[in-house]
Structure 1
């Protein structure tokens, strides 16, 4: 299928060929008939992509500071690699999609195949969208009209925040697409609406809708005009839908408001606010959040958990439905806003001239198709007939793009497939790294007898089930940590593993780092108990990010601290027999990203893992101290190692290396030539159970035996 993307690295807007997505649980698969180009939002993205690196940096000064902090801790090369990897990830354009449902995922009951629907899907021939971001289109609303659903909901949410009442005077600053819809909705609410815009054609169109529309470029003073229309009272509310970096807009909005008036920002403007303007009038100012309540809430959007209507009357989906109803009742006229209709294949007629476009609304028209395009597309011409150690990858996220694939490319690994849920990220990586096939159907990898090893880099809640499926297909498994999120999942993998002559490798790469290898060599193999203090300055992650969800990410101990449990096991040469963890916070059972883990080993080794998220980003992210036989080793951020009390060794340093390359090198060699797993499975199992025990320990307030 075809999809429009923005290349942030070189600024090109591309019509890319990607596999059609597979409908996921809680989603509907839609064949697109129309999409609306949001000229305001999409113009900003396109112009950002076309900007050079200096211009990009000036637009995002907060990101520049993060980059400089990363250089200090991780070094220049890893930082540059990280920045270029981020810029190399294409951005799907568009969020106003209309089409027909062609498939329904599990758990979806309100839609059926054949329904016409509007959603926030991108410019793509097929999209898979969560059910709470999809609304049915009334019979007498055309696909073109329905394409305004999402953009209309943005204006509607601004109105919900400003809470207009019958007879009030509301000013709309900026009569672009959102502004013109907002003005119509306000008229529908019984308000007197004043609109300002410097584009005379938009002013004239607004006048046709009964708006008191003015072009300030003709010499009209906006503040005085509002005062004259309201008999010196001022506007009851101002909705800013303009896009302009100037601070004048917010200042004028305050000056034209009455005492205790309301201002809502829907657009993007300068926000250097004058305290006097707001103080003297006791004005309220609020910034909207996209389509309405539920936006950016995974529980609502991704998991499909609706907010109860008696308590949250207007969610983003109910806003979609309200806009469609307004279009159906002809109280909002969107047909006059359409400037052009362009076939999808001629998309560049819109995107090549966005900066100078006078268009209000551009509609992309899609070909009528009954056949569903392939879920796999061929990228390379690789011949794997006589090869061994052929790989398939499930997951095309940040770890795959920034760490795994660069290492596999250096190793000349034979990667036959990469699977991604949406198809775009996998296709981008296929082209960049010469992978033969991009697919959205991971089962194709399992069914191919040529594939020897399948590598999993998906979200944590799928690791156990995918590992089991891969073993059932009689293939080796590499799964980026963790192996499982709980004992039940672990047991299902273990049962399958015990019936197969295949290996499971979990991505505990730290043990393969050059400095970890050096530490192990210096400590020797006497099995003498040692003391270890390992500190992970992990950094803060907001609570609404999926890694904190125990059902999806497993929390940061199971999902991340397991790395250091394995490292301590490797350095000690022993296995964990008991675990005790203490966590900081009001609810330590859930807030486990600031915790200390005590590990007791069979050989008497004592290890302490401090996993903290409240430290400075300027400080080293990882540090390990080992005390043994009147000797001490200090490893700092995988760049420096110091030794005290060792004959012939005092220090060693290198560029930052966490062991990923060595891990994959050993893994591919093992798959090609056979032999033992690069990490003994009993150690993987021990680390996995120790991470579960740590979380259980917090709940019980006691030591947990393994």
Structure 2
């Protein structure tokens, strides 16, 4: 078995797929076997750019390609569940872009399909695998900043309806919560676990998607204050604060190239931990490692982790009355 090449397929060839494919080229035992888009010209252009062996104008044809071992799904949110399940039914391993689905029920169906067909499935929460995040979690586990009492994290930028059509598209699962709100929620969850209570308020678009959402996650002895917006900017730093000090992740924190450690209000140390390529490389290596070891889930971002996060998002979706 050893370190053989793993053969990848990519469906949905937008911006994120391009960034992912450029990282795939950096991994020596990763091969881009096939790409698929409903627009064949796009598939041809993408395939040529990233040296794919085959290009398809249908997702089904890619799923039926016997050489493809693992499919990366990078289509809009509303199609994730259906495509992931279809790929798993065709015997493919799956890395599905986050959020894995627009409902908790669909998330459960996806995990069930992975287990039923005994194929690897992971939600593409790439931030979990970047070196700075791994290091921060290790420091927290080692008690470097004591018991965590407070997390502040946001993800915000000024989107425009003309340039970021998908973001504002209700049919495609647009809006702040599902596109970027999942990141601050992920940070709170990976550090503090599932909250006891959630409070969320949103400012809505006329089509009912959320333009900005603020969230408080209440724990036994801690709180997380989180925010997501597609209509305004923020500093995009994240702070994790404990009884002995705090950690500040460099902006933008979800792809942090490092962080600072503070104790007694004094900066004690700065750590620089750049990611390889755009940062997707680390989740790619995790997928390949799991497949080579016949694991159907990652220990770092497990099926249960995805379900827990999906449940948190579902609660917020219901509180702010999103139409999905």
Larger Cα Rg: Structure 1 or Structure 2? 1
1:631 maps to 2:245: yes
1:496 maps to 2:118: no
Determine if contact 2:170/2:209 at 8 Å carries over to the other structure.
Answer: no
1:388 offset after TM fit, Å?
5.0
1:641 offset after TM fit, Å?
1.6
Q: Distance in 1 between matches of 2:178 and 2:202?
A: 14
Q: Distance in 1 between matches of 2:249 and 2:205?
A: 33
Q: Distance in 1 between matches of 2:114 and 2:195?
A: 22
Tell me which residue corresponds to 1:392: 9
Structure 1 residues 579 and 677: CA distance shift in structure 2, 3 A: same
Determine if contact 1:598/1:606 at 8 Å carries over to the other structure.
Answer: yes
1:445 offset after TM fit, Å?
2.4
Tell me which residue corresponds to 2:68: 451
1:642 maps to 2:240: no
1:434 offset after TM fit, Å?
1.6
1:595 to 206, 213, 216: 213
SS at match of 2:75: coil
1:407 maps to 2:23: yes
Determine if contact 2:154/2:226 at 8 Å carries over to the other structure.
Answer: yes
Determine if contact 1:446/1:473 at 8 Å carries over to the other structure.
Answer: yes
Gapped regions of structure 2 (runs ≥ 5): none
Determine if contact 1:640/1:652 at 8 Å carries over to the other structure.
Answer: yes
Q: List per-residue Cα deviations over 1:27-68 (Å, max 9, x = no partner).
A: xxxxxxxxxxxxxxxxxxxxxxxxxxxxxxxxxxxxxxxxxx
RMSD between aligned alpha carbons? 2.9
Determine if contact 1:388/1:672 at 8 Å carries over to the other structure.
Answer: no
Q: List per-residue Cα deviations over 1:653-685 (Å, max 9, x = no partner).
A: 465777422111222222233336231110101
1:502 offset after TM fit, Å?
1.9
Q: Distance in 2 between matches of 1:579 and 1:640?
A: 29
Q: Distance in 1 between matches of 2:302 and 2:171?
A: 27
Tell me which residue corresponds to 1:691: 313
Structure 1 residues 584 and 656: CA distance shift in structure 2, 3 A: farther
Gapped regions of structure 1 (runs ≥ 5): 1-385, 701-706
1:570 to 186, 190, 197: 190
Q: Distance in 2 between matches of 1:626 and 1:434?
A: 41
Q: Distance in 1 between matches of 2:136 and 2:118?
A: 33
Determine if contact 2:37/2:57 at 8 Å carries over to the other structure.
Answer: yes
Tell me which residue corresponds to 1:234: none
User: How many residues were matched structurally?
Assistant: 308
Structure 1 residues 478 and 586: CA distance shift in structure 2, 3 A: closer
State the TM-score, normalizing by the size of structure 1.
0.40
1:579 maps to 2:213: no
1:615 offset after TM fit, Å?
3.2
1:555 maps to 2:175: yes
Structure 1 residues 628 and 661: CA distance shift in structure 2, 3 A: same
SS at match of 1:450: coil
SS at match of 2:237: strand
Structure 1 residues 699 and 648: CA distance shift in structure 2, 3 A: closer
1:675 maps to 2:295: yes
Determine if contact 2:176/2:230 at 8 Å carries over to the other structure.
Answer: no
Structure 1 residues 541 and 692: CA distance shift in structure 2, 3 A: farther
Determine if contact 2:131/2:275 at 8 Å carries over to the other structure.
Answer: no
Q: Distance in 1 between matches of 2:303 and 2:47?
A: 31
Determine if contact 1:625/1:633 at 8 Å carries over to the other structure.
Answer: yes
Tell me which residue corresponds to 1:611: 228
1:661 maps to 2:253: no
* Counterpart mapping for 1:203-282 below 5 A: none
Determine if contact 1:485/1:554 at 8 Å carries over to the other structure.
Answer: no
Tell me which residue corresponds to 1:507: 124
Q: Distance in 2 between matches of 1:465 and 1:686?
A: 20
Q: Runs of 4 or more off by more than 4 Å in structure 1?
A: 525-529, 646-649, 654-658
Q: Distance in 2 between matches of 1:548 and 1:579?
A: 25
1:541 offset after TM fit, Å?
3.2
Structure 1 residues 580 and 546: CA distance shift in structure 2, 3 A: same
Q: Distance in 2 between matches of 1:387 and 1:509?
A: 23
Determine if contact 1:583/1:591 at 8 Å carries over to the other structure.
Answer: no
Determine if contact 1:641/1:653 at 8 Å carries over to the other structure.
Answer: yes
1:652 maps to 2:263: no
Determine if contact 2:148/2:240 at 8 Å carries over to the other structure.
Answer: no
SS at match of 1:410: coil
State the TM-score, normalizing by the size of structure 2.
0.84
1:538 maps to 2:157: yes
1:420 offset after TM fit, Å?
0.9
SS at match of 2:119: coil
Q: Distance in 2 between matches of 1:464 and 1:546?
A: 18
SS at match of 2:34: strand
* Counterpart mapping for 1:81-230 below 5 A: none
Q: Distance in 2 between matches of 1:698 and 1:502?
A: 35
Q: List per-residue Cα deviations over 1:162-182 (Å, max 9, x = no partner).
A: xxxxxxxxxxxxxxxxxxxxx
1:516 offset after TM fit, Å?
1.6
